[in-house]
Amino acid sequence: MVSVGQHFWEKLEEVIAAHRLVIDRPAGTKHPRHPDLVYPVDYGFLEGTAAADGDGLDVFVGTSGEARVDGVLCIVDLLKQDAELKVLFGCTPAEMRSIAEVFNSGPMGALLIERE
């Protein structure tokens, strides 16, 4: 029997497999409105999907070389007064921690949930 958690990760991987991933902010890119925020790994979205903000589901793509969902980041943004889920795909543990640190500053708070 598949655990509830495992089912979640598998469904996220199905969503990623079914949609084109667009990288619009390569690693090292500064956020267009917040230049202090630098993306530690490639960042983009899945075409044809919808997240809480109405845009495509956000995905960070790491350098592990594995095509799997490694975790998610739950973010609360006080400036935008919203919360979002961002998918961590092909990320090493160090990359996941680095991404979480970026979003745990200023008006944002982030919770990293790593896949076992």
Distance (Å, whole) CA 1 – CA 15: 21
Q: Is the pLDDT of residue 64 over 70?
A: yes
Share of the chain above pLDDT 90, in %: 75
DSSP string for 9-31: HHHHHHHHHHS-EEEEE-TTPBP
Name the average pLDDT for the chain.
92
The pTM assigned to this predicted structure is 0.92
- pLDDT value of residue 35: 87
- Residue 2 pLDDT more than 60? no
Q: 69 burial class (0-12, 13-18, 19+ CB within 10 angstroms)?
A: buried
22: left (phi over 0), alpha (psi -120 to 50) or beta: beta
Q: Judge whether residue 1 has pLDDT over 80.
A: no
What is the C-alpha separation between 108 and 104, in angstroms, rounded?
6
Sequential DSSP letters for 35-90:
TT-B-SSEEEEETT---TTSSPEEEEE-SS---SEEEEEEEEETTTTEEEEEEEES
Mean pLDDT value of segment 92-105:
94
Of the CA atoms within 13 Å of residue 104, those in its CB half-sphere come to: 11
- Per-residue pLDDT tens over the stretch 13-59: 999 999 999 999 999 999 888 888 899 999 999 999 999 888 899 99
Q: 4 pLDDT band (50/70/90 cuts)?
A: low
